[in-house]
Amino acid sequence: MNKFSWGIFLVVIMLVSCSRDYKPKPKGYNRLVLPEAEYQPSPDSLPYQFEYSQQARLLADTSWISERYWVEIYYPQLKANIHITYKRLNNKDDLLKELLNDSYRLTSKQQIKAYAIDEVSVKTPSGKTAVIAEIAGDVPSQFQFTMTDSARNFLRGALYFNTAVQNDSLAPAIEFMKKETMHFINTLEWKQ
């Protein structure tokens, strides 16, 4: 090949390789650094006790409908909350029925965006029973539960992330928070 052919070849390569059709790479997701599993006891001011992560903050529920013993366990690194609501039953069967129906209704509201709701009943190491609902899909709350002794205490919990619902990218955080919530359930004790 002579110099003229090489010159044409290089000009053609440069024209073909230099295009203005730049396509940026899609956004990536941040790497999640999950906190270590170190726990502390809840304060004595509540009618129930439990253990929660030392990386979390225990906050009073500040919503307009909150009641005295409602709390949030806030994980700042993950922007996640476990909302805990509590009611004294005082042996009122009709109140228990109403609270269980409310819990079922709140869980079933997720059906609009959920593609599965798995509900199971589990026994804790201390012999308590919890009804757990795992909700799959792009839903605001992926994990909810209720616990009661059927006579004096009723507690409901729900896991929320303070981020846009993108559960595929939140999967590691969701799994971590499910474990944290299960630790709450397994360490929950009613005070007399």
* Sequence-ordered alpha helix ranges (H) in the chain: 3-17, 93-108, 171-187
Q: Where are the domains of the chain?
A: 35-190
- Are the C-beta atoms of 169 and 184 separated by less than 8 Å? no
CA atoms within 13 A on the CB side of 95: 15
Tell whether domain 35-190 is in CATH 3.40.1000: yes
Residues in the chain where the model's pLDDT stays below 70:
1, 17-31, 164-168
Q: Write out pLDDT tens, residues 2-49.
A: 777 888 887 777 777 666 666 666 666 566 777 788 999 999 999 999
